[in-house]
A and B are shown apart, each in its own frame.
Chain A
Amino acid sequence: MQADPLNQAEPANRTPKSRKPWLSGRLQGLFSTNVSYGPDRIRFVALCFLGIFATISGKLIYLGLKPEAPQTVKSAALDALSGARPDILDRNGDILATDIKVMSVFAEPRRILDKDEAVELLSAVLPGIDAKELRERIGSKKGFVWVKRAVTPKEQQEVFHLGLPGIGFLPENKRSYPNGPLAAHVLGYTNTDNNGIAGMEKYIDGQGLADLHGAGFRLTPEDLKPVRLSIDIRATHVLRDELQEGMVRYRAKAAAGAILDVNTGEVIALTSLPDYDPNNPVDALDKDHLNRAVVGVYEMGSTFKALTLAMAMDSGKANLNSRIDVRGTLRYGRHTIHDFHGQNRTLTLPEVFKYSSNIGTAKFALMVGIEGHKAFLRRLGQMDRMKTELPESTEPLYPKNWSEVSTVTIAYGHGIAVAPLQAQMAVAALVNGGYLMRPTFLKRTEEEAKKDAERVIKPETSEALRYIMRLNAEEGSARKADIPGYFVGGKTGTAEKVFGGRYVHNRLFTTFMALVPADKPKYLFMVVYDEPQGVTEGHGTAVAANNAGVVTGKVIERVTPLLGLAPRFEPPTQPFPMLAKLGIGTRQPQGTTPR
């Protein structure tokens, strides 16, 4: 007979006669050591343990099934924090963009006791706070609200000493650009949440950083490898400095410049003026601050003659000994084409380039024909949008109905509008031996560049073009950029701008392309000015040679040693070997005399 130990009514060893009081009877039953109570007691203890474990597992299951964690301050803040970004370095390892830790002030509206007092004190201590807006935000039902991001340490101290409940600090990453406005258009900028919204910052986000942030990974700056750009910050500074000085001296509306490495397609420097400071990009979206080298389309003028003459030579329809009659004017229906400083005689191809004859170039283009012309320009990437790592790009403009008149005008650079960097890409392809490479802002080796490059002209044509560019620098309009020791080759371009469907004589767009050095090409410099004025009075004083050419010369002089090219004391002995076999260019150029 099992006695239930809980039911102390009939303990087995109770003497039937003695009637103990109920409580002490039960107590005695609880502590009795009667063996027969054993199994029941064990069962009871087991039941208790089972109950405890069941409760624990039940709670675990419940917590596991709950859809979201309770919204504590920390977890809500983590969503709002700005993530770390990789450093951006220039090609030599100098820092172009980096993260620094700053403190941001937040508020928990539920914990603030006196909201008006809090708003008053905060707006007194922190500059730039809109009190009304802050009061609204604190008055809302949210659990977490930003008060001010990126406060200085002093401000943090003062807010701390206010001693307000519900106000706290969280560290955040702020993007800092130590070089100020240098390479601003290339780098782009970030928003307050440290997401890239322009330039290379946006490109880096597009490479997977945005996905990582979205997936909730908290990245520390050590986890991220720095991004190496092809930009050289010292060269960019020199370019910007000289462009800025020139913009003031020639009272131009805008300016842009770029340096390309012709063998790798890397952009060594890119500047567009006016520009902005990415540390404070409030005016970055201003229409005037756009990246003119990449996004602005302009009629490049006579620099396109290099493309036309290369086309004529490459097609076999002309060579360096071809002669063209440029007397008078060329009439095409309503249009009359005349030369600026017309020579009024028969010119050879190099002379057409040297004297920048519109008539001569037009006749060369007509030799190739409309279809050949279109195909050549398409091959050189002048008819399609140029895609670089920058998210900004633009479509070139060219006539939909391409007639012979179009070919004639496009031959000397009017009638087609491209971005300056696009034209520079084409000229680089013409001078580096015939490989068209997409300009890149990331560091790239020559092998990688050649892998993706396509051949657009023959090496002989490339050498011929370099020859005529060098001739232009010695004897033609590019003399102002002929710095002794660097064997420079160049081409000017002075284009009239179109206003109201007509070309206006006194509003010009000047360009200059310079190749350093012309025998073993390494760098292609480009400078463009928008509406420069002549320094001296008179007609023809605002031509490219006087502004863009002069500035390019100064840039070459300062930048080329920085980039590692030493000046040479004697001109190269066999600069154009393929042409020498044909008997061209064997006369030694004039010795380089110091100026």
Chain B
Amino acid sequence: MWRLLHVVAIGALVASAGYAYTIKYETMWYAEQVVITRNAIAREHDAISLLRAEWASLARPERLQELADKYLDLKPLALFQIGRLRDLPEVAPKVDVIGDTIDAMIAAPTPTTPAAPPHKTLAKTPAL
């Protein structure tokens, strides 16, 4: 029985050592990953700052003025080009010409049919 116990104890020892070293190597690997990621972040930061500097250089007023002069047909704004709402002419009252014509036709008697004189025979016939 003691031999068995010895074997079990040694096996447990080896297993625990193996476990400890596995953890250790895993930790080392993760630590390496962290360092790699940190370096990648630093590289990205550098690239970002380089791109920002490049953007600022491409968007500098001198260059934009040159390009605008070359490709755009713009001129400086003059005061008379700005209009205000109150400078617009007064809105004329809405006149509906066609509608008015139709209304007038309905209201007024048409000149081609003269007003029918009252029926002479009917008017004078006494009651039968």
Contacts and interface: CB of A to CB of B under 8 A. Distances in A.
Given A567-B79, A594-B80, A180 B49 contact: no
A180 B62 contact: yes
B45 A95 contact: no
A176 B56 CA distance: 10
A335 B80 CA distance: 51
A485 interface: yes
Contacts of B80: 594
Nearest to A483: B79
B53 A222 contact: no
Contacts of A222: 45
A100 B48 CA distance: 9
B110 to A, nearest CB: 55
Contacts of A296: none
B49 A182 contact: no
A180 B60 contact: yes
Contacts of A178: 53-54, 56-57, 60
B79 A594 contact: yes
A452 interface: no
Contacts of A484: 79
B65 interface: yes
A94 interface: yes
B25 to A, nearest CB: 25
Nearest to A594: B80
A98 interface: yes
Given A237-B62, A569-B79, A101 B56 contact: no
Interface residues of B, number: 21
Contacts of A237: 60-62, 65
B53 A179 contact: no
Interface string A91-119: 00011001111000000000000000000
A561 B76 CA distance: 11
Interface in B74-124: 76-80, 82, 84
Interface in A56-111: 94-95, 98-101
A179 B49 contact: no
Interface in A259-309: none
A557 interface: yes
Nearest to A181: B62
Contact of A485 (B49, B52, B59, B79): B79
A351 to B, nearest CB: 29
A94 B77 CA distance: 24
Interface in B26-65: 45-46, 49-50, 52-54, 56-57, 59-62, 65
17 contacts: A98-B49, A99-B49, A100-B46, A100-B53, A101-B46, A171-B46, A176-B57, A179-B56, A179-B61, A182-B60, A221-B45, A234-B61, A237-B65, A561-B77, A569-B82, A594-B80, A595-B78
Interface of B: 45-46, 49-50, 52-54, 56-57, 59-62, 65, 76-80, 82, 84
The 4 closest A-B pairs by CB, nearest first: A237-B61, A178-B56, A178-B57, A95-B56
